[in-house]
Structure 1
């Protein structure tokens, strides 16, 4: 098996068996392509089934000079996955990545906005324009439902189940989940849908898309970034924010107000609870307060004698 065929089969496996989204598929493929380019430039002729750990280590060493620790860790993860696939398909017996350690990187904490910051951003929107009504409904949906930007742009009118108080969200790997939506956010969507969107000439194939641009097409991710960036500048908010900041703020504010981490995991569409646990950083003082308020030893301080 040559590298081109191995990569083609691997991509098919990732798409069909693991159900990865296009962006994830391309990222995994890029890691393998970087290794392929390294071998080609140095006229190294090992196949995917025979490449030894020493050669992969050499590639990692050269790569480490050009990328930061986080990018290096991602490449290592991608290559581990590729070689594990080859083992799964019986193309090789070992994973050459086994003895290669990932660089230690600090866990990046998500940026968040306060409730006041979000209110200021939304209050800055010019509601005298059709785009203003749309933008207000979009940002409220981002914050109210904790959506990814791709989930927001792909949201359909047929995904709105307002009578039940939910919207249907299609996330990574085309996995669907139902997320509660606040009554106030429902009303803003209805205003946009019934008073603004009805006057837009919808392009073919975009009839069911909820949020449209002036030409009647689905908004791009880049456009959502631009809208938020301009609002932040107009508000005078000196923070590096993006659509994802609203998602982080959604999860953080729920946790601060006592929501269960498992419930937050389901609403965010995280496969693993460990992904959601990053939000546990938000307010360590709250954790201490819980212990002081509810733990028997702390309760003993008020009345009973504590143990030595």
Structure 2
């Protein structure tokens, strides 16, 4: 817990809230403090939120009362479970206040009070934890991830049907019923896994905060009676070298949108299966002689030890940059003309989504023209890169490093898919009399 010293007692500042940015962007200061001016008969004082806007302060209750001695214990490393729970409640109020301030175009106390008093905060509610983490993700401009958590929370609310749900309610039995309900409502097992992953993270946060005992986690080893969410299905998303050759050798009208978006797919395939968002974010400063070095945008916020990825810049991709790239006026300029200037995360998200949509649109048309058995999408570029190298006998650890996976788990899925194909081929040989 971060602290700032007042004249008498320290005030509480939520560790996940950027106070400087809040003051700069919204003109608002947000802290929690112990109001010792108005002591209760039992010797405790209320912990309140203090919001300052244009030098005018306003105060809001957190429903927590403490003695000065216990209040100071909140700043110690090791505290009792009772105080830990109260600390979480104070944090929850701070994050709720922050999320309301953050969503307002222009701050006003009247609008803030209207939203803040709509519902009482229950720090033990799963939804409160969801809302708090969603607000944090949005504050970090991780809008795609925030949307995933919003969908997960919405689906859980739809199943449970109540305004609040305690962590203790979510048991292995509850989750198995939840899975069966989703499947009965037309969702695949892959979708079940997608909705359950954010919930698992939220439960782990509650365990870390001391709200839930780790022994009561519903997720874990099935043999021990716990629940394991379904793994994503692994449909074939890789092309053969022959199919890839057809795409690369296909001759669209020079300078046409079909030409441009086909080249972007080829650039991704030859560039270690680079994600399309990362293609859009590449800058000229990422080019070092015949190599592109970048960090995957997808893991920047989730994997602090994530390594940079090096792409060998072969002639084909150099030609694509020469044909479609921007003029390199500054090292900080984007290579391709999808983004420009200094876009915020919302602008990046919209433009990348439109870009991917266009690549998929034209690749589908090309797939039909070439009589391919599948409608090729951007997803195929990455899978094809890995699969072609696996089939060519390239060392598996080299491939994992090329696509930025520190774990071999994802690469193993590609190998499993290839092995299954080989099994089918071998089985069919038994019928070739």
Preserved CA contact (<8 Å) 1:76 1:102? no
Q: Sort the Cα spacing of 1:112 and 1:83 in 2 relative to 1 into closer, same or farther, 3 A.
A: same
**Structure showing the higher helix proportion among its residues:** 1
CA contact (8 A) 2:127 2:165 kept: no
Correspondence 1:142 to 2:268: yes
| Structure 1 residues 215 and 104: CA distance shift in structure 2, 3 A | closer
Q: Which of 177, 180, 186 pairs up with 2:311?
A: 180
TM-score (norm 2): 0.53
Q: Which runs of 5+ in 2 are unaligned?
A: 1-122, 301-305, 342-350, 424-433
Highest relative contact order (Cα 8 Å, sep 6+), 1 or 2?
1
2:278 to 134, 151, 162: 151
* SS at 1:245 equivalent: helix
Number of the residue aligned with 2:373: 238
- Which residue in 2 is equivalent to 1:168? 294
List aligned pairs for 1:1-308, cutoff 5 A.
1=123, 2-11=125-134, 22-39=143-160, 41=161, 43=162, 45-48=164-167, 50-53=168-171, 55-56=174-175, 58-66=177-185, 67-93=187-213, 94-97=216-219, 99-102=225-228, 107-129=233-255, 131=257, 134-135=260-261, 137-145=263-271, 146-161=273-288, 163-174=289-300, 177-193=308-324, 197-198=326-327, 208-212=333-337, 220-281=355-416, 284=419
TM-score of the superposed pair, with normalisation by structure 1: 0.72
- Report the Cα offset of residue 57 of structure 1: 5.0
Please give the per-residue CA displacement for 1:175-205, whole angstroms capped at 9, x wherever unaligned.
Answer: 5623222422343134215xx745xxxxxxx
Contact 2:175 / 2:227 at 8 angstroms: preserved in 1?
A: no
Q: Which residue of 2 aligns with 1:202?
A: none
Q: CA deviation at 1:243?
A: 1.0
What's the RMSD between the two structures over aligned residues?
3.8
In the TM superposition, what whole-angstrom CA distance separates every residue of 1:239-293 from its partner, at most 9, and x where no partner exists?
13211111111111112222111111111122421111122236559x99xxxxx
- How many Å apart are 1:211 and its aligned residue? 2.6
Larger Rg: 2
